Amino acid sequence: ASFPFLCFRSLLIFGLLLLVPFTQPSTITQPNFVLLLADDLGIGDVGCYGNDTIRTPNIDRLAKEGVKLTQHIAAAPLCTPSRAAFLTGRYPLRSGMDAVNDYRVIFWNAGSGGLPPNETTFAKILQHQGYSTGLIGKWHQGVNCESRNDHCHHPLKHGFDYFYGMPFTLISDCQPTETPEMDRAFRRKLWLSTQMIGLITLTAVLGRLTGLISVHWKTLTCLAVFSLLFFISWFSSYGFVRYWNCIMMRNHGITEQPMVTDRTTSLILRESIAFIERNKHKPFLLFLSFLHSHTPLLTTEKFLGKSRHGLYGDNVEEMDWMVGQVLDAIDKEGLKDTTLVYFASDHGGWLERQEGERQLGGWNGIYKGGKAMGGWEGGIRVPGIFRWPGVLPAGAVIDEPTSLMDIYPTVVHLAGGRVPQDRVVDGRDLLPLLRGAAAHSEHEFLFHYCGVHLHAARWHQKDTGAVWKAHYMTPIFRPAGAGACYDRGFCPCFGEGVTHHEPPLLFELSQDPSEAKPLSADTEPLFDTVIRKIGRAVEEHRRTLTPVPEQLSVSNVVWKPWLQPCCGTFPFCWCDKEGDN
């Protein structure tokens, strides 16, 4: 009787030993994380999402070796709020990082708004778990609060051990040869007002000299002083955007003011690879926040003119090459099987970004709308790819609603940390879904904001697989039917530029992903039921919101000279420490 038992035990032990290689990867604790976030990249710009004319072999390789999400949703359609949500796992209005006015992003390095110090980023939690944490590239979450060097919104205050990149965002003003982009319409009004005041002053002086009008010289002097002060009041900020906003920093120190755009790409890539090499013997988090593919589309000579889509296509193909270089660095250090790589874009492509005949913004495939549009899919549906060999299945495609906010709990869980319990976290751990252990996303509802205004909400009806989306407000496209707001350059969130819908526009995205055929009570038997269900979810969601300081209020957004990061003695801010090296 003992011999069969011994045989059975031997076979059992042998079988368990055979299983070890297959189960071991799933028990890896504290993997490395490489988070790759593109800027303004449209979902239709990537090969594995259907583009067959822009070459993205390295991003496509990530999808082939990992998991591709086809319904990956940004929490906001613009940089600042979307990235705040990504870093905190929370809708941006919970942290005050969404707009109550037309200033929907951080406008100046010298503004006082930014990601509040009391927000807990995933980097901060990983830092406490013993990770080396680095941010390379774009920040756009603010710098200072009350003084030039308090750095209250700086990456190093939000859990990153190392920062190299732009505290602001790339804009065309950073490239001297490009047409200025920042606040372009407002700047035109300021120039026009200055010219009118100057003309009135000059006319009054000439009238006084010729005796045509009787006015005291004291009055003319006051008018001239007012003209000069008005000009100085705005030109001191808008006249030097390149010096105030287009700077590069390493940790708290400024390395370039203004940045030298010809070498920015190579420096960001060099810093990213160096961070991996420096930290290969311990768990690390690298957040590579690309400046690609935001205007002015900084592209090195090697890639200029090589794509079939002009400068924008060249820029996307160069970014894909950078992705490949980072993946090669991971492979070279033998970290491929212990590193979770994630690729996404912060929101949809910018349809209205054009200069003459040149299209400088991205393409959002079959999805309606684009950047700045909080409700339409084109503004918020983005690429989302995860790769972790041996843990996540290769070549998998998941068509479940997921969010950029989900990165937060996913990364925190894998690092052995705990999601904060003292606040609402809207993200959900994606690991069960990514590994195939769960059939459905944990998101039953997702809410789509444009600034602080709720434009739409979606309901994932898990028993049927239907994805219903109700639009409460939509932007008015101009020209009519053009699919974007070409007259403004951006679609607005409120006011005369939007249409309110009562009852809401309803779409079933699994049948109509392009949102081309709105349903009605006449065409959809479940119309009233679905609208009521989503409406109750919106009410419940709103009860979870609490008032917080508005980080993008006018008083926080305006340029404040005493907060301006300066390499030198303000206002003589200039340095090139990379060139010196």
Phi, psi of 377 (to 5 degrees): -60, -35
Of the candidates 89, 46, 49, 44, the one whose C-alpha atom is nearest the C-alpha of residue 426 is: 89
Phi, psi of 279 (to 5 degrees): -115, 20
| HSE-up (13 A, CA, CB side) for residue 495 | 8
Phi, psi of 468 (to 5 degrees): -95, 140
Distance from C-alpha of 80 to C-alpha of 336, rounded to nearest angstrom = 31
Residue whose pair of structure tokens reads 């319990």 in the numeric block: 421
Is 79 noted as a catalytic residue in this protein? yes
Render 229-274 in DSSP notation, one character per residue: HHHHHHHHHHTTHHHHHS-EEETTEEEEES--GGGHHHHHHHHHHH
Contact 471, 456 (CB under 8 A): yes
- Secondary element (H or E) of residue 165: strand 162-166
Please give the DSSP secondary-structure letter assigned to residue 115.
Answer: S
Q: Which of 72, 128, 140, 281 is catalytic?
A: 140
Q: Which of 7, 48, 72, 79 is catalytic?
A: 79
SS3 assignment for 178-238: CCCCCCHHHHHHHHHHHHHHHHHHHHHHHHHHHCCCCCCHHHHHHHHHHHHHHHHHHHHHH
Contact 454, 538 (CB under 8 A): yes
Contact 353, 295 (CB under 8 A): yes
What are the helix and strand counts (H, E) for the chain?
15, 20
Distance from C-alpha of 491 to C-alpha of 472, rounded to nearest angstrom = 15
Is 575 noted as a catalytic residue in this protein? no
Contact 120, 156 (CB under 8 A): no
Task: Say whether the peptide bond before residue 503 is cis (omega within 30 degrees of 0).
Answer: yes
Render 557-578 in DSSP notation, one character per residue: HS--GGG---SEETTEE-EEHH
Region of residue 130 (phi > 0: left; psi between -120 and 50: alpha; otherwise: beta): left
Active site residues: 79, 140
